């Protein structure tokens, strides 16, 4: 089934009404859905912590956070969360400065970020908890091209300026029967520090057979194109200019009615669907230690399972393992517990892949260990 946002408002309203009627603030109640635990198995939620949580960061998870916020308030009627989608770089900085309760980042903390984050946590480690899996679309607007297939090598050459026109032979070879114009390619990239950019460039580096010679990182390094602020800005810029292509989370591509390229990893074109993304996520391994759940996506990018769509990111919630005051620790744990269970039910409708079952228990174990 394709990931779709259509009907999200109705689905959320219905889900909220059911939860409010059935759960109230009962700590043992919970919803169920694809990838989420049933109410019988959901961990207890303590609704007596800090009433107003604050968080900031990844714009890629903004729509997921809206889903989680509604599930959280349905579970804990007097509790709210304010999430500011300013980008991964800003989220890490705000968390490290102690200005928000947790940060959202599409990349795990780097070595230069871990020390300041630990200082913010009263000299305790900060943990990277993967809560949201978001497919990244290579989105485009090309008149007459209702279908577009790219592989890692061709995509890399587009985004570093080695392929500059839509009818280039390399693109044509992957798109038999599709009429592509002899028009320039307009690349659009994220101008702000972005974990989406980091993951996209890691994908290009891993999958392009050496065609991507630039670095990865939260700044776009391709050297071509025009920048736009945030995921919404990139999608709007592509939609506004014929012949444009960029990388953006699925929900933003859908909202702007953009074309979404299929990816050929060597065994044929693969469409971006729930099932195809799930095949790729299932092969990812955890490389972090203990409850620091850092994921290794590079191998999946380079050698995805057959029939899988390999371009996705994991958004981490950056939290203190210890160091919160008691009320904040209680609220952070409660929100993340609801997000990892009840909150997973409506993620597919919002453009995300529900949390894989193999990660859910590890994630809940880490959440409960926050002190």
3-state secondary structure of 132: strand
The annotation status of 345 as a binding-site residue, yes or no, is no
The annotation status of 64 as a binding-site residue, yes or no, is no
The annotation status of 285 as a binding-site residue, yes or no, is no
The two three-digit tokens of residue 178, written as one number: 């599709």
Burial 241-263 (b: 16+ CB within 10 A, else e): eebbbbbbbbbbbbbbebbbbbb
Evaluate whether 105 touches 315 at the Cβ level (below 8 Å): yes
Secondary structure of the chain: what % helix, strand, coil (to 5)? 40, 20, 45
Evaluate whether 189 touches 225 at the Cβ level (below 8 Å): yes
Phi, psi of 214 (to 5 degrees): -80, 175
The annotation status of 59 as a binding-site residue, yes or no, is yes
How far apart (Å, rounded) are the C-alpha atoms in residues 210 and 348? Answer: 34
The annotation status of 194 as a binding-site residue, yes or no, is yes
Calculated CA dihedral for residues 279, 269, 4, 84, nearest 10 degrees: 80
The annotation status of 58 as a binding-site residue, yes or no, is yes
Residue positions forming the annotated binding site for phosphate: 58-60, 88, 106, 194-196
Binding residues: 58-60, 88, 106, 194-196
């Amino acid at each position: 089934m394709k990931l779709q946002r259509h009907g999200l408002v109705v689905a959320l309203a219905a889900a909220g009404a059911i939860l409010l009627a059935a759960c109230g603030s009962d700590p043992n109640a919970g919803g169920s859905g694809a990838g989420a635990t049933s109410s019988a198995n959901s961990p207890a939620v303590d609704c007596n912590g800090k009433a107003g949580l604050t968080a900031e960061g990844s714009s890629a998870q903004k729509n997921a956070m809206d889903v989680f916020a509604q599930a959280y308030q349905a579970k804990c009627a007097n509790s709210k969360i304010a999430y500011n989608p300013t980008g991964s770089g800003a989220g890490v900085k705000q968390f490290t400065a102690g200005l928000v309760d947790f940060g959202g980042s599409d990349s795990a903390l780097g070595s230069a970020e871990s020390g300041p984050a630990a200082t913010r946590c009263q000299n305790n480690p900060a943990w990277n908890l993967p809560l949201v899996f978001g497919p990244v679309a290579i989105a485009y607007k090309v008149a007459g091209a209702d279908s577009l297939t790219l592989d890692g090598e061709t995509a890399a050459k587009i985004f570093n300026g080695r392929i500059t026109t839509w009818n280039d032979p390399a693109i044509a070879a992957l798109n038999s029967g599709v009429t592509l114009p002899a028009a320039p390619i307009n690349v659009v990239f994220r101008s702000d520090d972005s974990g989406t950019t980091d993951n996209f460039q890691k994908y290009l580096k891993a999958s392009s057979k050496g065609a991507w010679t630039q670095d990865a990182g939260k700044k776009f390094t391709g050297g071509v194109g025009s920048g736009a602020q945030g995921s919404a800005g990139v999608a709007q810029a592509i939609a506004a200019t014929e012949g444009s292509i960029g990388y953006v989370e699925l929900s933003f591509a859908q909202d702007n009615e953009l074309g979404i390229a299929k990816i050929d990893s060597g065994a044929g074109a693969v469409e971006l669907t729930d099932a195809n993304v799930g095949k790729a996520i299932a092969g990812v391994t955890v490389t972090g230690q203990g409850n620091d759940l850092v994921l290794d996506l590079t191998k999946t990018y380079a050698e995805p399972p057959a029939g899988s769509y390999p371009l996705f990111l994991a958004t981490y919630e950056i939290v203190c393992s210890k160091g919160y005051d008691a009320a904040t620790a209680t609220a952070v744990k409660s929100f993340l517990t609801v997000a990892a269970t009840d909150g997973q039910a409506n993620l597919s409708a919002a453009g995300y892949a529900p949390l894989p079952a193999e990660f859910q228990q590890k994630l809940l174990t880490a959440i409960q260990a926050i002190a």
